[in-house]
Chains A and B, each alone.
Chain A
Amino acid sequence: MSSAAISQPASVDANAPLLEVRAVAKRFGSRDVLKNISLNIASGEFLTLLGESGSGKTTLLRLIAGFEQPTSGEIWMSGERLDMLPPHKRRVNTVFQNYALFPHLNVRDNVAYGLRVQGAPKNEIPARVDEALNMVKMAGFAAARPSRLSGGQQQRVALARALVNRPQLLLLDEPLSALDANLRKQMQSELKSLQREIGITFLFVTHDQEEAMALSDRIALLRDGALEQVASPREIYARPATAYTARFIGQTNLLPGEIRRSIATCGVLRWPLDEPDGPVLFSLRPEMIRLSPDGKRQTNEVKFRASVQQQVFAGASELLEVDCGAGQLLRVRLPACGPLTGEHEFVFSIADAIRVAN
């Protein structure tokens, strides 16, 4: 994929965000679909809106594209008020969930559509269309009708049709959800490298947390119309702010307990923690728990004995369910180590038990 020519428009201030969503709310009838969303997207960023179905992620995308009007709040792009403009006047393009290719036009005319309706110079159009088709490796299908193409091919054409207009911001509404697993992985990596090359800002909507982790610079996790957490994939995984985030992104053990006199107690597990007294909730990722090597004892670790209840082999790793006594079950992910039975000593470091809000 080569496309140095599709350049990103120069921004006025390198530090100013490209898109600003300011206190946006959306209400359908009596249902609050979005509640007071504020979100900035930097130029050139790949930001993913992640959430379950019904969390409002697609609605937020449609507000930015202009297909819905916010009930309150404002949307700004490059220092301009965006939410007052009709969709066709916004420098934003969308890749739709089911691609929405025009069935009466062939691939070339689909891609040329945006340039034609916006009155691009006629002699420029063919070259730009060819360039966009080359970028998504669909140059050989220029004369084909969309109905003749496979899902993955339609996906590429939809991408070319949006990118050919050199939008400031590309919106992608679950673009990979209709593809089968293998193709999906392949398209993920192509999408990511494409975005890096052309430097266009991507706002990507998905319900698939793995996809969000693999692609994004930052993830904005939506829950019931409100932003739960906005952070980089590594940070949101390592330091989830809430129990919901910890559960939604990856697997975790949620340990409810309490702190008293600088000792945290969660069931049979206890460790020193210099924080005020009160009830607490910790998130402890299964892979942060290891089999304890014999002998050495370290102050920043918690050791406990537990019996293996269940073991699932997952190729490179093993997923265990262990009972630490008194019915307290923990999930543990170990590097592949062969069958384990009976009691073993496990260990995790205190720093890996992340305090989360309920």
Chain B
Amino acid sequence: MSRTDLAMYSRAYKTIVSAPPILWVALFLLLPYALMFVHSFWAVQDGALVHHWNLDNYKKLFTNPLYAQVLFRTMRIAASVTLCSLLLGYPLAYYLSFHSGPRKELLYQLVIVPLWVSYLVRGYAWKTILGSEGVLNGFLQYLHITHEPVSFLLYSPFAVILMLTHIYTPFVFLPIYASLEHIPRPLVEASQDLGASPASTFFRVILPLSIPGLLAGATFAFLLSLGDFLAPLLVGGSSGTMIANIVQTLFGAVYDWPLGAAISVGILLITISLLFLTERLEKRWSFK
């Protein structure tokens, strides 16, 4: 084969290999996003979609306080979930990576197991635990801590945060664990050798070097919570409604697709800017 033949061959090869993923992304990501984007500039008249270009949907987003209020609540819930899963996931990952000894593999599997259980099953489990006839209330009454069922447990932002934290903690755990595992152990020894106590070693060496994993985990928890609509549906009640529920209602019940699309574009923008930000932060904190 001549040199040009080789070049042709490798070009053809690259095309063939890269075609499926490019097709996939185009068909199932770019095209739907483009459709959504276009829809957000259309309108609904007498229950029918009309291709009448306008900015009214976006105006509604900013003028109707309901949307801002729900969006704000959604972000507050997502932030709480992120914080709670970090507080649970980081110590867990730290313990597993540095102090679990020979039980490491087993404990790791135990953390992963909940991921195999269906999201819906876990949602209904929380319903059973938190409900007024539920396990938790029964337990509280059995202990005579309360005399009648506590009603604020279920159908509240609290319940949503609890359920989402339960679901997303493994997602936070995994990247943190991976980044902790990548810290060369001689660095920890070097720190102790230079006179740093275990606590000082943690804050000066381990924590800074695990920041990329911590950021990745936090991003997972925040963005997945931001777009969640099942948890509020199952355990949120009206006070726990999140932005995705509104989008779902607009698409599924009200048939106001353009407004739903406009809200979705808004969420997408928030998501993209957050990803952009965390990516830059992660780069700033990675040292290879």
Please give the residue numbers on chain A whose beta carbons come within 8 Å of chain B beta carbons, in ascending order. 65-67, 86-89, 92-94, 96-98, 100-104, 113-114, 117-118, 145, 147, 161-162, 165
Bound: A104/B201 CA distance, A: 13
Interface pair B195/A102, CB less than 8 Å apart: no
Contact at B287–A88, with CB atoms within 8 Å?
A: no
Cβ of B189 under 8 Å from chain A: yes
Asked if residues B193 and A93 are in contact (CB atoms below 8 Å), the reply is yes
Question: Residue A102 contacts which of B187, B192, B198, B200 (CB distance < 8 angstroms)?
Answer: B187
With a CB–CB cut-off of 8 A, which chain A residues contact B189? 65, 67, 87, 94, 96, 100
Contact of B14 with A by CB under 8 A: no
Contacts of B186 in A (CB 8 A): 96-98, 100
Given contact pairs A98-B186, A102-B191, enumerate 8 new A-B contacts (beta carbons under 8 Å): A66-B192, A88-B201, A96-B186, A103-B287, A104-B205, A104-B285, A114-B194, A114-B195
CB-CB under 8 A from B208, the residues of chain A are 104
Residues of B within 8 A of A67 (CB): 189, 192
Tell me the number of A-to-B contacts counted with CB atoms below 8 Å: 73
Tell me whether A100 and B287 are in contact in the complex, defined as CB-CB below 8 angstroms, given that A114-B195, A117-B200 are known contacts.
Answer: no
Cβ of B288 to closest chain A Cβ, rounded Å: 7
Q: Confirm or deny: B190 has a beta carbon within 8 angstroms of a beta carbon on chain A.
A: yes
The answer on a CB contact under 8 Å between A117 and B194 is yes
Q: Given contacts A102-B205, A117-B204, are A96 and B195 in contact (CB under 8 A)?
A: no
Q: Is B195 in contact with A88, judged by CB distance below 8 angstroms?
A: yes
Known: A117-B200, A117-B204, A145-B287. A100 touches B194 (CB 8 A): no
The answer to whether the Cβ of B196 comes within 8 Å of any Cβ in the partner chain is yes
B190 adjacent to A96 (CB under 8 Å): yes
Interface on chain B toward A: helix, strand, loop, or mixed SS? helix
Point out the residue from A86, A89, A100, A104 that lies within 8 Å of B190, measured CB to CB: A100
Contacts of B285 in A (CB 8 A): 104
Contacts of A165 in B (CB 8 A): 194-195
Least CB separation from B203: chain A residue:
A117
* Known contacts A103-B287, A104-B287, A147-B287, A88 near B196 by CB under 8 Å: yes
**Chain A hits for B191, CB < 8 A:** 102, 113, 117
Docked-complex contact B288 and A93, CB < 8 angstroms: no
Task: Determine the chain B residues whose CB is within 8 A of the CB of A87 once the complex forms.
Answer: 189, 192-193
Contact of B193 among A65, A101, A147 (CB under 8 A): A65
Are A88 and B192 within 8 A (Cβ)?
yes
Which chain B positions have C-beta within 8 A of A102? 187, 190-191, 205
Q: Which residue of A lies closest to B184 (CB)?
A: A100
- A-B pairs with beta carbons under 8 Å apart, 28 shown: A65-B193, A66-B192, A86-B192, A87-B189, A88-B198, A88-B201, A92-B193, A94-B189, A97-B186, A98-B184, A100-B184, A101-B190, A102-B205, A103-B209, A103-B287, A103-B288, A104-B208, A104-B209, A104-B287, A113-B194, A113-B196, A117-B194, A117-B195, A117-B200, A145-B287, A147-B288, A162-B193, A162-B194
Q: Which of B170-193 contact A (CB under 8 A)?
A: 184, 186-187, 189-193
The smallest beta-carbon distance between B187 and chain A, in angstroms, is 5
Question: In the complex, what distance in Å separates the CA atom of A114 from the CA atom of B196?
Answer: 7
B25 CB to nearest chain A CB (Å): 34
Please encode chain B, from 19 to 44, with 1 for each CB lying within 8 Å of some chain A CB and 0 for all others.
00000000000000000000000000
Chain A residues contacting B200 (CB-CB under 8 Å) are 117
